[in-house]
A and B are shown apart, each in its own frame.
Chain A
Amino acid sequence: MENINNINKENQVRDLKALEGMLKALKDELQGVKAKQPKEKLAMVVFSGDLDRALAAFIIATGAVAMGMEVTMFFTFWGTPLLRDPKKVGKGKDFFGKMFGMMLPKGLKAAKLSKLNMGGLGTGMMKYLMKKKNMASLEQLLEMAKELGVKIVICELSMQIMGFKKEEMIDYPDLIYAGVAKFLEEAMDSKVQLFI
Chain B
Amino acid sequence: MTEEIKVDKVMDLKGLPCPMPVVKVSKAIKEVQVGQVIEAITSDPGSLADFPAWAKTSGNEILKTEQKDGLIKFYIKRKV
Contacts and interface: CB of A to CB of B under 8 A. Distances in A.
B18 interface: yes
A16 to B, nearest CB: 41
Contact of B23 (A66, A134, A135): A66
A33 interface: no
A55 to B, nearest CB: 11
26 contacts: A59-B18, A62-B19, A63-B19, A63-B22, A63-B23, A65-B23, A65-B26, A66-B19, A66-B23, A66-B25, A66-B26, A66-B27, A66-B58, A67-B22, A67-B26, A67-B57, A68-B26, A68-B57, A68-B58, A68-B59, A133-B17, A134-B16, A135-B17, A136-B20, A144-B23, A148-B23
Interface size classification for chain B: 10 to 19
Interface string B29-62: 0000000000000000000000001100111000
B16 A62 contact: no
Nearest to B60: A68
- Name B's interface SS: helix
Interface size classification for chain A: 10 to 19
Nearest to A147: B27
A62 B57 contact: no
Interface of A: 59, 62-63, 65-68, 133-136, 144, 148
Nearest to A148: B23
Q: Which of B15, B26, B58, B59 has the most CB of A within 10 A?
A: B26
Contacts of A68: 26, 57-59
A87 B58 CA distance: 39
Contacts of B17: 133-135
